[in-house]
Structure 1
Amino acid sequence: MFHLRDVTRQFGKKTAVSSVTFDIPPGQMVGIIGRSGAGKSTLLRMINRLVDPSSGEIEFSGVKVSSLKGAALRNWQRDCAMIFQQFNLVPRLDVLTNVLLGRLNHRSTISSVLNMFSREERIMAVGALERLGIEQTALQLAGTLSGGQQQRVAIARALMQQPKVLLADEPIASLDPLNAKIVMDALRDINERDGITVITNLHTLDTARNYCERIIGMAHGRVVFDGQPKNLTAAAVAEIYGADTAIEESMTSTTINIPAAVPQEQTASASLKPLALAGL
């Protein structure tokens, strides 16, 4: 169980997140929506402790995350994996090595420096790529992949951490609708099949409605909506986005119908493969 109590972050005189309080039960898929600058990314970064709260408490399963330091903090950042809009891959390394980097917090410093990944870890990495439908890219340089493929590599790397929580900061913001659907299908599969809590920032309302069982709306650093998608009314949307007129959600739609003829590598997440540990 996540508990956030009066979590606030200030940057100088600017308050990016103000007195945020909510609980998230295990295994929930939560979408956080709001305008640019509403505090969504700062909130996720505080949960992962990439940014420290100015005040307030973050607690997970009885552990005060907001007070962790040293090895305990590194362990938390292993258990709370983060996926970024910019993918954060190493372009000059092949895909398999990028995925294996997700194991660094599970390894000793010496073995990490020497890049000594075990056979079991390599099998695990190939299995993660298979699950995301991109195992054929394992030996390609990460920088040669499309944006959608790179984001799936980033998800595979996060799976290698064997996390308890998965945070995704605008994971589909730079993707076309087809790749956005593939990535969101993958996140939902991880949430449903593995029971991992997923918290994701989203900029498309229909995506939040279709994929998340709970939506948190932020405006000016505060939570102004917290509930099920069916309760996200036009009035609530107007409060979140500060709009005087109704917002047409289809303008930024990621709701698409994928024809049966589309090749498997493009629709892998529609029927994601089990984590394979064989075939290496």
Structure 2
Amino acid sequence: MFSLKNVTRRFGGKAAVSSVSVDIPQGQMVGVIGRSGAGKSTMLRMINRLVDPSEGSIHFGDVEVSSLRGAALRNWQRDCAMIFQQFNLVPRLDVLTNVMLGRLNHRSTALSILNMFTREERIMAIAALERLGIEQTALQKAGTLSGGQQQRVAIARALMQQPKMILADEPIASLDPLNAKVVMDALRDINEREGITVMTNLHTLDTARNYCERIIGMSAGRIVFDGAPRDLDAAAVRAIYGTGADGAEIDETVTSTSIKGGAGLVQDNVKESASVTPLALAGI
């Protein structure tokens, strides 16, 4: 069980997150929705301890995450992988190396400095890329990939951490609908096959309904909805998003990521070589 207990985060005199309490059982896929500035990103950053809570406590099982320091904190950030909207890759490094950087908290400092990855780590990285359908990009510089490909590389890097929980902060906000679907399919597959808890901030209600078994709605730093997708009715949407400037209900279609008209396969701008195997690409 993962729990937040009366968690508050203040920046100056403003509370970005206010008295949030929530329990999340292991293995759930949870979508967090709300307007910009509702506190969604701050809450995820507190869970990963990129930001410390001003009040309250965060727990994972018997461990009080909010009190961790030093090596114990680094271990938590290894176990609680974070995926960002901006991808946070190293553009000048190749894709394979970027993925293997997910092993840094599993390795000694000396090996990390020398960039000495083992054969087993290279095989793990290729397997993660294959799972996400981008193994052909292994030797390309990360900066040359499309946004959708870079986000899949970021997910592969998170898998290399062998996490117990994955936090995704607006993972599809900058992606087109086809790539958004690929990324969300990947997160759901990880959740279902590995039983890893996935908690993701989303702007789009249709995505939250389609992919998440539980939806948390935030407004002004507080949780105002917590339930199943079927319970996210007009009243709940109004509590989360309010109304338009004219007092009208929010039109959900403006946030839709649905692909209309039947789309084909996503064609990424990469060169594939059928004659070279993924393991050969990795030098294995």
Match of 2:50 in 1: 50
Contact 2:9/2:55, CA 8 A, preserved across alignment: yes
Contact 2:92/2:142, CA 8 A, preserved across alignment: yes
Q: Secondary structure at the match of 1:75?
A: helix
Q: Secondary structure at the match of 1:37?
A: coil
1:239 is displaced (CA, Å) by 1.2
1:246 to 2:252 alignment: no
| Code of the aligned partner of 2:82 | M
Contact 1:212/1:229, CA 8 A, preserved across alignment: yes
1:118 to 2:121 alignment: no
Q: Give the Cα–Cα distance (whole angstroms) in 2 for the partners of residues 168 and 149 of structure 1.
A: 16
Match of 2:259 in 1: 256
Match of 2:82 in 1: 82
1:228 to 2:231 alignment: no
Query: What is the TM-score of this pair, normalised by structure 1?
Result: 0.93
Q: After the TM superposition, which residues 162-181 of structure 1 pair with which residues of structure 2 at under 5 Å, given as runs?
A: 162-181=162-181
In structure 2, relative to structure 1, the CA distance for the partners of 1:258 and 1:50 (3 Å cut) is farther
Match of 1:60 in 2: 60
1:264 is displaced (CA, Å) by 8.1
| Code of the aligned partner of 2:8 | T
Q: Give the Cα–Cα distance (whole angstroms) in 2 for the partners of residues 177 and 263 of structure 1.
A: 10
Match of 1:139 in 2: 139
Contact 2:87/2:151, CA 8 A, preserved across alignment: yes
Q: Secondary structure at the match of 1:157?
A: helix
In structure 2, relative to structure 1, the CA distance for the partners of 1:257 and 1:135 (3 Å cut) is farther
In structure 2, relative to structure 1, the CA distance for the partners of 1:278 and 1:143 (3 Å cut) is closer
Q: Give the Cα–Cα distance (whole angstroms) in 2 for the partners of residues 154 and 66 of structure 1.
A: 25
Match of 2:272 in 1: none
Match of 1:270 in 2: none
Could you give the per-residue CA deviations for residues 207-257 of structure 1, whole angstroms, max 9, x where no partner exists? Answer: 000000000000000000000011011111011012132222222212226
Contact 1:238/1:245, CA 8 A, preserved across alignment: no
Match of 1:186 in 2: 186
Query: What is the TM-score of this pair, normalised by structure 2?
Result: 0.92
Q: Give the Cα–Cα distance (whole angstroms) in 1 for the partners of residues 225 and 160 of structure 2.
A: 33
Contact 2:242/2:250, CA 8 A, preserved across alignment: no
In structure 2, relative to structure 1, the CA distance for the partners of 1:3 and 1:258 (3 Å cut) is farther
Q: Secondary structure at the match of 2:71?
A: helix
Q: Give the Cα–Cα distance (whole angstroms) in 2 for the partners of residues 123 and 257 of structure 1.
A: 38
1:158 to 2:161 alignment: no
Q: Secondary structure at the match of 2:171?
A: coil
Q: Give the Cα–Cα distance (whole angstroms) in 1 for the partners of residues 2 and 268 of structure 2.
A: 36
Contact 2:75/2:105, CA 8 A, preserved across alignment: yes
Q: Secondary structure at the match of 1:191?
A: helix
Match of 1:272 in 2: none
Contact 2:85/2:173, CA 8 A, preserved across alignment: yes
Structure 1 gaps of 5+ residues are 267-276
| Code of the aligned partner of 2:199 | I
Q: Give the Cα–Cα distance (whole angstroms) in 1 for the partners of residues 119 and 236 of structure 2.
A: 51
Q: Greater CA deviation, 232-241 or 84-93?
A: 232-241
Q: Give the Cα–Cα distance (whole angstroms) in 2 for the partners of residues 257 and 156 of structure 1.
A: 29
Identity %: 78
Could you give the per-residue CA deviations for residues 72-97 of structure 1, whole angstroms, max 9, x where no partner exists? Answer: 00000000000000000000000000
Q: Secondary structure at the match of 1:53?
A: coil
Q: Secondary structure at the match of 1:207?
A: helix
Contact 1:134/1:265, CA 8 A, preserved across alignment: no
Q: Secondary structure at the match of 1:203?
A: coil
Q: Secondary structure at the match of 1:186?
A: helix
Q: Secondary structure at the match of 2:198?
A: strand
Q: Secondary structure at the match of 1:52?
A: coil
Structure 2 gaps of 5+ residues are 270-277
Q: Secondary structure at the match of 1:124?
A: helix
